């Protein structure tokens, strides 16, 4: 429940508004899945986990931009135009961006952590050698919660800044995604790294939340 504490309420509140939003979330999930498959393939060829993370992040962000472009094109369909903002009637609605983030967040949670959560139903409690302070399943649940929240915030920020053509802010959002993802490598590479990772990820969430709070849709 911790792992989906942000995604499930958002899904219930947002995706129930319109079937189009549910479709957008499903397409976003497939976009993240494709990014993960391509990134993993490239990482395996290079034999490097950081390369896997780098390409997964970059390709998933391309998928996010692609979703924005598709939704922007959809405003040209008959009956979609808004008289006040005829060129971006759909992407001006934050629910569309949130739905995109929900889809990516749920796909990331299911693909990366489903096996771990399934195994956690057994009698044993797993710990990382570098993080004896916290059970692995709890650490993973917290990271799922954090990344699910960040996926929604990244979509909100990137959709808004693409619409406003503020490219520097788009680059900053993508950079924060790359930083947050690369930080997960610290968990198993140094003693007590999990606590450092959690604190860093929460700081990134706070920063993204502040930027999203100041957005004007």
CB 70 within 8 A of CB 24: no
d(CA 98, CA 134): 31
Query: Could you tell me which residues are beta bridge partners of residue 131?
Result: 128
d(CA 111, CA 113): 6
Looking up tokens 């960040």, which residue turns up?
150
Instruction: Specify the pTM.
Output: 0.86
Digit-by-digit pLDDT tens for the chain (217 residues) are 676 788 888 888 888 877 878 888 999 999 999 999 999 999 999 989 999 999 999 999 999 999 999 877 776 665 554 444 444 445 456 888 999 999 999 999 888 776 665 555 555 566 677 777 778 778 888 898 999 999 999 999 999 999 889 999 999 999 999 999 999 988 877 777 788 999 999 999 999 999 999 886 5
């Amino acid at each position: 429940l911790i792992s989906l504490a942000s995604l499930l309420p958002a899904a219930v509140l947002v995706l129930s508004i319109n079937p189009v939003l549910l479709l957008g979330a499903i397409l976003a999930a497939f976009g993240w899945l494709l990014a993960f498959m391509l990134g993993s393939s490239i990482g395996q060829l290079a034999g490097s986990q950081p390369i896997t993370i780098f390409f997964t992040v970059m390709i998933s962000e391309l998928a996010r931009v692609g979703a924005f472009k598709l939704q922007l094109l959809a405003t040209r369909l008959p009956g979609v135009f808004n008289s006040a903002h005829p060129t971006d009637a759909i992407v001006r609605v934050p629910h569309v961006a949130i739905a995109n983030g929900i889809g990516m967040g749920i796909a990331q949670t299911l693909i990366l952590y489903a096996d771990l959560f399934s195994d956690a139903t057994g009698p044993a409690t797993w710990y990382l050698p570098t993080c004896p302070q916290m059970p692995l399943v709890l650490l993973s649940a917290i990271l799922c919660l954090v990344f699910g929240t960040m996926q929604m915030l990244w979509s909100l920020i990137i959709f808004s800044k693409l619409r406003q053509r503020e490219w520097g802010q788009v680059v900053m959002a993508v950079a924060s995604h790359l930083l947050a993802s690369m930080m997960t490598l610290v968990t198993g590479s140094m003693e007590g790294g999990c606590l450092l990772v959690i604190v860093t990820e929460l700081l990134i969430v706070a920063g993204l939340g502040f930027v999203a709070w100041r957005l004007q849709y």
